[in-house]
């Protein structure tokens, strides 16, 4: 039981090594079905038992991944969180409700999860102690974390009828306990109150009653009408379809707001049950910012566009202030935003002040205005009403707070240029605004990194700061690959200094800032202590503590989960398209490769859009990453003797409004350059090259087969192939079908199915909820290929979404891919 687990968690830890994770109960996690139970043909054509790939590949898929690590905010502890390699298909296939654009697990009254965690290891950062936390058999953890003061650890687990919340003190034995077995996590997991004495939770209302029963016959038709409104909708899925759906949505989403004490005492209910999608306590702990949906609900929009009220509640449930009463967001322009307050939140460092953003252009990106947005603040106790803080020239994307409450960093995005800007503002007017970042979002070489955030004493996120310096961590893209860094930037001058950068020969990135308490780094001349995550092609990721004085120490014990892959070689290669656009990719060669060996090749890619050649050619990969195969990864083909050209860049360069006019020509040119480069290196057979991709990469794959003869076969997973079914734009396309019909036609491989002469393997999850890639897309392309005499295979995976999770499904995908390429790329 997890109660035992968290009691152990809060006991004084010993220095012993952690034993292995507990076994999984086969009764709860059925083994994959790999053979038919009965002899004879299947009942329906195309059905039968799940397949398995070659043993070497299956072993990779079934290997448990390295744990993720959560550091306590104090920097004293680390918590390793383990998960299985893949859940069983039985877990993925449990009952799910698809309502209002979200998916609900009715058994746990939670957002539907297709994965979970099941193991915890607690250790001191100084290495003095380490112990496994016994979590009991079959525990499924949905959420786990630290309180902002590092006093408590909480875990949310799947339960019967609701989720369960467990809390324990990190350093006191015998204190862990189940504090609530009625948590509703459809929209939000519990959050800590500022004083750390309890958690703000959404609970299943007492006496809720049974789930609404579907009527034997509809009460009437579902009627929709339009009368001149312009409502350009993306192809959202899982929408409400009738009144019964709406009743189910309310049944599972309406919740009771409450404060649940961490010590297990009696809870305090706040207000009455409502359909609350977000609840955030004020920094002083006296109020709650609540967002709740109001009737009537829409059959054409997802829940986040429903009518809603944004309110401030006192802890006795009284509505103190209505921030916004927003109608259904039905007329948002393509690329636009909702009018009225948005991004409403509490201002860090001020106990009762709200901040929010509002559009000054009616939410319309095509309207010509000097400023698109403004930020507003409201002190709930001053009584002076809202006051404007600042305006942004372009669309506001966020507001970062500093410990000095008179200063903020505002970020904005220019849609026309694909440009980002971040500016330091003095809210008193004492200093002029200072631009800290101003670049193309695609300029990875010029990226100064993200601001490093830390929690203040109330749990609010603020920018990490040391005197005038703020800290940034970045991917560190360079022509030689990624070299991540930690830097600092002067808020007075904007000058930047790199404090640490990954050395060539490894991939090491910033992970966590270790600060003494909540005051930062102390004196200005004291450097930061921080943790990085370091890996090489042959060494698994390990967490490394960097001391202020310059020392380094490994603080984790990750073991290589897939030693079979250490024989793989890889290299970051660069080359050039015929029109001069620089390209790059990572070339993997299978274990046992020797000089002179020639292999069948898979080119795996995903197109991305760029405004100019300079940014399109920038390298964004690293040859020093630890090689792993997770789930349905195409890199498993290495164990079957294939070479893989991974993340082969396929830039679409041009004006953001018209770049897709040459989509086909550009991907064909990029593919030609990729093949020519690898073949010239003498490691690939030009007559045995396949192409593959997932989602937009699948769309690219089908287009390459339809418009070129470069490949012998293709593998397309979870793609969209008929753009007339996504008529209000796709990916970065801004024009509608009616504005650019010739473009939609040109890039729709479904409409060119008669030109696809190469064998194409189509794989799709039957429960794909991704906008635009609904399962019908693969079914219709297969039917078109079949009707035109093409060679294709369609594999529809029951219960799977846009990505594939169930162990049986993942093994099937690997088996199908290897078998397909072996058949069509054979000698």
Are 582 and 576 in contact, with CB atoms under 8 Å apart?
A: yes
Cα(789)–Cα(209) distance, integer angstroms:
56
Q: Which of 644, 684, 637 is nearest to 820 (CA)?
A: 637
Query: How would DSSP label each residue in 686-755?
Result: EEEEEEEEETHHHHHHHHHHHH----SEEEEES----GGGSTT--TT--S-TTT-HHHHHHT-GGGGGGG
The chain-wide mean pLDDT, for the chain, equals 91
Are 371 and 391 in contact, with CB atoms under 8 Å apart?
A: yes
Q: Which residues contact 777 (CB under 8 A, 6 or more apart)?
A: 719, 720, 721, 722, 725, 750, 764
3-state secondary structure of 519: coil
Give the residue-averaged pLDDT of 147-166: 94
CA atoms within 13 A on the CB side of 717: 24
Cα(200)–Cα(209) distance, integer angstroms:
24
Helices 807-824 and 55-62 sit at what angle, rounded to 10 degrees? 150
Token pair of 243 as six digits: 């009144």
Token pair of 168 as six digits: 């324990």
Residue 695 among the catalytic residues:
yes
Q: Which of 432, 412, 433 is nearest to 422 (CA)?
A: 412
Kindly name the residue from 3, 244, 321, 802 that is annotated as catalytic. Answer: 802
Task: Indicate the Cα dihedral angle 733, 734, 740, 741, nearest 10°.
Answer: 60
Helix (H) or strand (E) holding 663: helix 663-680
Strand ranges inside 72-197, DSSP E:
77-82, 97-99, 102-105, 110-111, 119-124, 130-133, 141-146, 152-157, 163-169, 177-183, 191-192
Query: Does residue 592 register a pLDDT over 70?
Result: yes
Start-to-end Cα distance in the chain:
55
Are 151 and 455 in contact, with CB atoms under 8 Å apart?
A: no
Place of tokens 């707001």: 257
3-state secondary structure of 660: helix
Place of tokens 């109660």: 3
Residue 479 CA to its chain's centroid (Å): 27
Q: What pLDDT shows up at residue 616?
A: 95
Are 287 and 347 in contact, with CB atoms under 8 Å apart?
A: no
Kindly name the residue from 364, 768, 809, 824 that is annotated as catalytic. Answer: 768
Peptide bond into 296 cis (omega under 30): yes
Q: Which residues contact 190 (CB under 8 A, 6 or more apart)?
A: 154, 156, 165, 183, 199, 200, 201, 202, 260
Helix (H) or strand (E) holding 614: helix 613-616
User: pLDDT band for position 10 (50/70/90)?
Assistant: very low
3-state secondary structure of 661: helix
Most confident of 7-16, 24-33, 230-239, 373-382: 373-382
Are 686 and 680 in contact, with CB atoms under 8 Å apart?
A: no
Query: How would DSSP label each residue in 400-469?
Result: EE-SSTTEEEEEEEETTTTEEEEEEEETTSSS--EEEEEEETT-STT---EEPEEE-TTS-EEE-EETTE
Give the residue-averaged pLDDT of 633-637: 97
Count of Cβ atoms closer than 10 Å to residue 736 Cβ? 15
Count of Cβ atoms closer than 10 Å to residue 517 Cβ? 12
φ/ψ of residue 246, rounded to 5? -65, -40
Residue 768 among the catalytic residues:
yes
In sign, the C-alpha dihedral spanning 331, 333, 334, 337 is negative
Query: Does residue 330 register a pLDDT over 90?
Result: no
Q: Which residues contact 541 (CB under 8 A, 6 or more apart)?
A: 66, 533, 534, 535, 556, 558, 626
Interval 444-495: pLDDT, tens: 999 999 999 999 999 999 999 988 999 999 999 999 999 999 999 999 999 9
Place of tokens 């309180």: 147
DSSP letter (8 states) at residue 317 = S
User: pLDDT band for position 525 (50/70/90)?
Assistant: low
Token pair of 159 as six digits: 């339960």
**pLDDT above 90 as % of the chain:** 82
Least-confidence region, from 15-29, 463-477, 800-814: 15-29
Q: Which residues contact 594 (CB under 8 A, 6 or more apart)?
A: none
Q: The whole model's pTM is what?
A: 0.92
Token pair of 532 as six digits: 């990085």
Least-confidence region, from 122-131, 608-617, 729-738: 122-131
Give the residue-averaged pLDDT of 91-113: 97
Query: Does residue 523 register a pLDDT over 80?
Result: no
Kindly name the residue from 556, 632, 695, 748 that is annotated as catalytic. Answer: 695
Q: What pLDDT shows up at residue 334?
A: 87
Q: Which of 490, 515, 514, 485 is nearest to 500 (CA)?
A: 485
Q: What pLDDT shows up at residue 331?
A: 86
Interval 142-153: pLDDT, tens: 999 999 999 999
Q: Which residues contact 722 (CB under 8 A, 6 or more apart)?
A: 748, 750, 751, 777, 780, 781
Are 778 and 794 in contact, with CB atoms under 8 Å apart?
A: yes
């Amino acid at each position: 039981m997890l109660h035992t687990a968290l009691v152990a968690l809060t006991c004084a830890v010993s220095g012993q090594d952690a034993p292995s994770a507990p076994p999984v109960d086969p009764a709860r996690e059925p083994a994959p079905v790999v053979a038919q139970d009965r002899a004879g043909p299947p009942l329906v054509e195309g059905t039968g038992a799940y397949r398995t790939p070659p043993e070497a590949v299956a072993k990779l898929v079934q290997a448990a991944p390295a744990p993720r690590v959560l550091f306590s905010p104090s920097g004293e502890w680390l918590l390793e969180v383990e998960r299985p390699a893949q859940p069983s298909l039985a877990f993925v296939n449990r009952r799910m409700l698809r309502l209002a654009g979200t998916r609900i697990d009715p058994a746990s009254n939670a957002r539907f999860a297709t994965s979970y965690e099941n193991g915890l290891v607690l250790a001191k950062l100084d290495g003095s102690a380490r112990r496994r936390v016994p979590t009991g058999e079959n525990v499924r953890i949905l959420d786990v974390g630290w309180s902002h003061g590092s006093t408590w650890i909480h875990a949310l687990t799947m339960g019967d009828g609701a989720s369960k919340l467990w809390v324990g003190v990190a350093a006191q034995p015998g204190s862990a306990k189940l504090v609530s077995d009625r948590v509703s996590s459809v929209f939000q997991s519990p959050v800590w109150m500022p004083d750390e004495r309890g958690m703000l939770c959404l609970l299943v209302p007492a006496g809720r009653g049974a789930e609404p029963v579907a009527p034997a016959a509809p009460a009437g038709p579902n009627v929709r009408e339009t009368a001149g409104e312009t409502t350009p909708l993306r192809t959202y899925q899982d929408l409400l379809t009738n009144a019964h759906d709406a009743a189910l949505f309310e049944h599972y989403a309406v919740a009771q707001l409450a404060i649940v004490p961490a010590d297990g005492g009696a809870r305090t209910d706040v207000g009455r049950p409502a359909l609350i999608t977000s609840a955030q306590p004020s920094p002083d702990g006296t109020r709650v910012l609540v967002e709740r949906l109001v009737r009537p609900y829409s059959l054409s929009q997802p829940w986040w566009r429903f009518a809603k009220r944004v309110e401030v509640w006192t802890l006795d449930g009284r509505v103190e202030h209505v921030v916004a009463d927003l109608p259904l967001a039905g007329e948002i322009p393509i690329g636009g935003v909702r009018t009225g307050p948005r991004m409403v939140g509490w201002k860090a460092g001020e106990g009762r002040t709200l901040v929010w953003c509002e559009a000054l252009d009616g939410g319309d990106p095509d309207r010509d205005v000097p400023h698109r947005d403004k930020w507003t603040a409201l002190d709930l106790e001053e009584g002076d009403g809202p006051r404007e803080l600042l305006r942004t020239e372009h669309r506001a994307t966020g507001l970062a707070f500093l410990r000095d409450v008179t200063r903020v960093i505002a970020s904005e995005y220019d849609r026309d240029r694909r440009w980002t800007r971040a500016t330091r503002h003095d809210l008193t007017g004492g200093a002029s605004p200072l631009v800290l970042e101003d670049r193309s979002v695609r300029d990875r070489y010029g990226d100064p990194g993200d601001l490093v955030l830390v929690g203040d004493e109330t749990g609010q996120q603020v920018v990490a700061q040391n005197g005038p310096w703020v800290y940034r961590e970045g991917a560190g893209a360079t022509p030689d690959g990624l070299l991540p860094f930690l830097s600092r930037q002067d808020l007075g001058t904007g000058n930047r200094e790199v404090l640490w950068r990954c050395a060539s020969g490894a991939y090491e990135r910033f992970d966590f800032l270790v600060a003494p308490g909540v005051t930062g780094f102390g004196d200005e001349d004291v450097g930061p202590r921080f943790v990085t995550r370091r890996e090489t092609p042959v060494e698994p990721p390990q967490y490394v503590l960097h001391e202020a004085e310059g020392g380094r120490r490994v603080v984790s014990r990750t073991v290589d989960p897939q030693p079979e892959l250490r024989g793989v070689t890889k290299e970051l290669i660069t080359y050039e398209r015929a029109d001069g656009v620089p390209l790059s990719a990572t070339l993997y060669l299978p274990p046992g490769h020797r000089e002179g060996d020639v292999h069948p090749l898979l080119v795996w890619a995903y197109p991305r859009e760029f405004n100019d050649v300079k940014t399109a050619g920038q390298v964004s990969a690293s040859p020093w990453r630890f090689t792993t195969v997770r789930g349905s990864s195409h890199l498993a083909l290495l164990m079957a003797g294939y070479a893989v050209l991974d993340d082969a860049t396929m830039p679409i360069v041009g004006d953001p409004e018209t770049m897709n006019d040459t989509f086909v020509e550009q991907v064909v040119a990029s593919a030609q350059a990729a093949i020519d480069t690898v073949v010239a290196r003498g490691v690939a057979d030009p007559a045995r090259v396949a192409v593959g991709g997932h989602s937009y990469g699948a769309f690219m794959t089908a287009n390459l087969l339809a418009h070129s003869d470069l490949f012998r076969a293709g593998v397309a997973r979870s793609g969209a192939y008929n753009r007339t079914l996504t008529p209000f734009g796709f990916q970065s396309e801004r024009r509608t079908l009616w504005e650019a019909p010739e473009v939609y036609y040109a890039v729709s491989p479904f409409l060119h199915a008669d030109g696809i002469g190469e064998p194409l393997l189509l794989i799709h999850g039957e429960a794909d909820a991704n906008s635009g890639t609904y399962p019908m897309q693969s079914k219709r392309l297969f039917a078109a290929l079949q009707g035109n005499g093409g060679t294709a295979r369609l594999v529809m995976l029951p219960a799977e979404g846009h990505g594939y999770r169930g162990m049986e499904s993942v093994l099937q995908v690997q088996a199908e891919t290897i078998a397909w390429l072996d058949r069509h790329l054979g000698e």
